[in-house]
Structure 1
Amino acid sequence: MKRKNFDKIVTAVGFGLSVFLFAAAALLNWGASFASDSVKSQLDNQNISFPAADAMPEATKAQLAKWAEKKVTTGEMARDYSDLYIWEHMKGSAIAAVGKPATYSEVSGMYMGLVRGGSSDTAQIAKLGDLRQTLFMGNTLRGMLLEAYAFGTMGVIAGYGAIAALVGGLVMLLLSIAGLVHIRRTPDSATI
């Protein structure tokens, strides 16, 4: 095979890869922007704000201090609000009611056991019923906020992918241009 023909094929493939990588960079950038804008607008609509630093849970006060009195607008903020604020309140409510940290399913099991068992301890049934509802709402809020965190993280990853695809596209474009220069310098008689 003539060297020039081989170089033309390789250069054409290089230009094709450049176009593909530039298209991938554009789509990844669009995805990153969409995810970021969606997470921000959805969280903005919820109007969730961190309390003042002195009202933060003691166990996570140091981690949450950076967000004091700020509105939740990013995936990272949603994760911290969920895991470091709501979760701590849920644990505190459970400790106050049953003496230990407990999940919704555990408390619901206790509650249903008393109700189905025909217990006459109405105060305990009411306390577990209230805690059950509190933990259910907390889990629901946490799930929604952690979903915003997941989508925000996917947007960040797509942004990094866009940068990598753009750099790869530029490198391939430069190599393809170098291939064109090489084709001009290769003698017609050269073979591989």
Structure 2
Amino acid sequence: MRRKTLDLIVGAGLVLLAGLLLVAGIVLTSNANFANSYVKDQLGQQQITFKTADTLTAEEKQSACLVEYAGKPLNSGKQAECYANEFIGLHLKSIAGGKTYAQLGDVQTELKTKLADAQKNNDTAAVADLQQQLTDTNTARETVFKGETLRGLLLTSYGFSEFGAKAGQAALVAYLAAGLLFLLGAAGLVHAARTPGSRGFAVPQNEGKAQSEPANA
């Protein structure tokens, strides 16, 4: 194969691959921009604002991000993660001893069973006490449900924003690779244009003659 032909093939292939990487980078950039704008719009609609620095409790002040974002509106994935874990998560731990929604469901079932037994036994004092415990548990479970739901939605937004960030990073890599391959491909095409058409990987004439001559007996 002629050297010029090889340069043309390799150069054109590298330029084509660079074009494909450029298209991939554009697609990834579009996805990253969509993720960022979508998360910002959705979080902005919630109208959530971090507590101001002067209203933070001593426990809340131990969170670096709550101090950093104090008084600011929540409109980014990182802020959503902070609010979900450091604010909502912190306060959920103070409700019903930190029990989850599912765990409080078990407590409800147990209290209902005890309440039914107390009612059968006409134990008025026990009935009143168990009824109050059940009411408190129901209220706590409803509060925990709302808190865990909001926390889950915020963390979902954070996860979506992270996908956008990763897409942006991948787009940058694609652009850099596309630029490098384009330069290499262009260099190959330029070299092919400067290479005479007759030049190739021919066998040297002396070596060809030596191989064609019969060996002396």
Check whether TM > 0.5: yes
| 2:195 alignment partner in structure 1 | 186
1:161-180 paired onto structure 2 within 5 Å: 161-180=170-189
Ranges of 4+ aligned residues in structure 1 off by more than 6 Å: none
Q: Work out whether 1:122 is the aligned partner of 2:122.
A: no
Q: Is the 8 A contact 1:50 1:71 kept in 2?
A: yes
Over alpha carbons, which structure has the higher Rg?
2
SS at match of 1:191: coil
SS at match of 1:92: coil
Following TM superposition, by how much is the alpha carbon of 1:144 offset from its aligned partner in structure 2, in angstroms? 0.5
| 1:98 alignment partner in structure 2 | none
SS at match of 1:47: coil
Q: Is the 8 A contact 2:12 2:189 kept in 1?
A: no
Following TM superposition, by how much is the alpha carbon of 1:109 offset from its aligned partner in structure 2, in angstroms? 1.0
SS at match of 2:94: helix
| 1:155 alignment partner in structure 2 | 164
Q: Which moved more, 1:54-63 or 1:163-172?
A: 54-63
Unaligned ranges ≥5, structure 1: 96-100
Q: Is the 8 A contact 1:57 1:89 kept in 2?
A: no
Tell me the TM-score normalised to structure 2 length: 0.81
Following TM superposition, by how much is the alpha carbon of 1:184 offset from its aligned partner in structure 2, in angstroms? 2.3
Counting aligned pairs with the same residue, the percent is 35
1:52-67 paired onto structure 2 within 5 Å: 52-62=52-62, 63=64, 64-67=66-69
| 1:27 alignment partner in structure 2 | 27
CA distance in 2, matches of 1:169, 1:90: 49
Tell me the TM-score normalised to structure 1 length: 0.91
Q: Is the 8 A contact 1:56 1:85 kept in 2?
A: no
CA distance in 2, matches of 1:10, 1:42: 48
Q: Is the 8 A contact 1:44 1:72 kept in 2?
A: yes
Q: Which amino acid aligns with 2:161?
A: G
| 2:40 alignment partner in structure 1 | 40
CA distance in 2, matches of 1:61, 1:149: 22
Aligned residues: 187
Following TM superposition, by how much is the alpha carbon of 1:159 offset from its aligned partner in structure 2, in angstroms? 0.9
Q: Is the 8 A contact 1:108 1:132 kept in 2?
A: yes
Q: Work out whether 1:109 is the aligned partner of 2:119.
A: no
Superposition RMSD in Å: 1.6
Following TM superposition, by how much is the alpha carbon of 1:58 offset from its aligned partner in structure 2, in angstroms? 3.5
